[in-house]
A = this chain, B = another copy of it.
Amino acid sequence: MRVTLKDIADEAGVSMMTVSNVVNGKRARVSPETIERIQRIVAERGYVPSASARSLAAKSSRLIGLLVPAADEDSLMISPHNVAIVGQIERELRKGGYHLLLRGIAAPAEVAEALQSWSLDGAVLLGFLDEEIDRLTARAVGKVSLLAIDSYSANPLTTGVRSDDYTGALLAARHLLELGHREIVFAGPSFSDVGVVHERFAGFQAAFAEAGLSWRERLVSANTTHASGRELGRRLMSSHPSATAVFATADILAIGIMEGLAESGFSVPSDVSVLGFDDLDLSAYVTPKLTTIAQDIPRKAAIAVQLLLGTIEGKEHPVDPITLEVRLIERASTAAPR
């Protein structure tokens, strides 16, 4: 059977409380010899405290949820961009002595269950739409601290971390304009529901305004997938014959577009320039290497965890969202128009 606090206490000839204090590092209250003896017995017996007993008795579980949308019968929607985030979040949490519960969310009602059943201390929301976050009620959230990544929701129950999407798109458009492009297609998800895309669109337009140019509506709607980009790339030059460049809201989409363009006989960048957003590892592996807007993903994850643990341990009100810098990475997929 499992070794318990009581077993250790009996063997050491002290009370459970004393063992508990030693195990939890509250050593000010126990004599050095006792500490040493208890630690020896703990090691010998291979005692591991029961996290469920602990979280039941204490107010804290030291468990953080990572909630990710998952289309009903489908796998988690872990985009290449989110993969790096998941790994980093686990690491930061581990460093802080927390554990990570990874949970796919197929229906809105599952959020409350996910947050409450394990008495989570906090949760990170990754990949949700702003409106989904807007709809989170105090009842569903309880006293769980919440942090949404890449969200522009104003829900006071959450805080957030995101990249400077506006500036990113501004830099992207500026780069293309400076190269001499004027007919630039903006490709991304329809942004009524995605704050990130909304910001990027605004930044994109701002670059035109700044240059004293007006952008002629060349909006193309596409999902953030390689397949969707490829399809878009195939018909791009027939639907937009005068276009000389494309700005895609995600690298994976941009890479698909490059493939579609190649398949329909156009070459990048000599016929069309393509610019992405994210700076995935993958973007340096494809041909031509993708020019893109880089986000500092490890930093994003680190700050997310730091912010979340801050509100948990400080029990302060959620702090203001944080916005991280981005920068242009010039590679081979953009050039002056012919």
The answer, yes or no, to whether A150 is at the interface (CB within 8 Å) is: no
Q: How far, in whole Å, are A66 and B281 apart by their CA atoms in the complex?
A: 25
Contacts of A123 in B (CB 8 A): none
Contacts of A139 in B (CB 8 A): 46
| Complex interface residues of chain A between 104 and 146 (CB less than 8 A to chain B) | 104, 106, 112-113, 116-119, 139-140, 142
Contacts of A100 in B (CB 8 A): 101-103
The answer, yes or no, to whether A31 is at the interface (CB within 8 Å) is: no
* The one of B90, B113, B119, B281 that contacts A52, using a Cβ cutoff of 8 Å: B119
Q: How many residues of A contact B (CB 8 A)?
A: 52
> Would A255 and B117 count as touching, CB distance under 8 A?
no
A115 to chain B: closest CB distance in Å?
Answer: 8
> Would B56 and A53 count as touching, CB distance under 8 A?
yes
A68 to chain B: closest CB distance in Å?
Answer: 8
Q: What does the 1/0 interface line of A246-265 toward B look like (CB < 8 Å)? A: 00000000010001000000
Given contacts A78-B83, A91-B75, contact A61 B70 (CB under 8 A): no
Among A66, A87, A112, chain B packs the most CB atoms within 10 A around the CB of A87
Given contacts A99-B118, A285-B286, contact A112 B75 (CB under 8 A): no
* The one of B56, B87, B226, B281 that contacts A50, using a Cβ cutoff of 8 Å: B56
* The one of B55, B83, B84, B281 that contacts A226, using a Cβ cutoff of 8 Å: B281
| Complex interface residues of chain A between 52 and 80 (CB less than 8 A to chain B) | 52-53, 55-56, 61, 66, 70, 73-76, 78
* The one of B76, B91, B119, B281 that contacts A74, using a Cβ cutoff of 8 Å: B91
> Would B50 and A119 count as touching, CB distance under 8 A?
yes
Contacts of A75 in B (CB 8 A): 84, 87-88, 90-91, 298
Q: How far, in whole Å, are A73 and B87 apart by their CA atoms in the complex?
A: 12
A301 to chain B: closest CB distance in Å?
Answer: 9
The residue in chain B whose Cβ has the minimal distance to the Cβ of A139 is: B46
The answer, yes or no, to whether A324 is at the interface (CB within 8 Å) is: no
Q: Which 8 A-B pairs have the closest CB atoms?
A: A52-B52, A48-B116, A287-B287, A76-B87, A75-B87, A51-B117, A102-B102, A75-B91
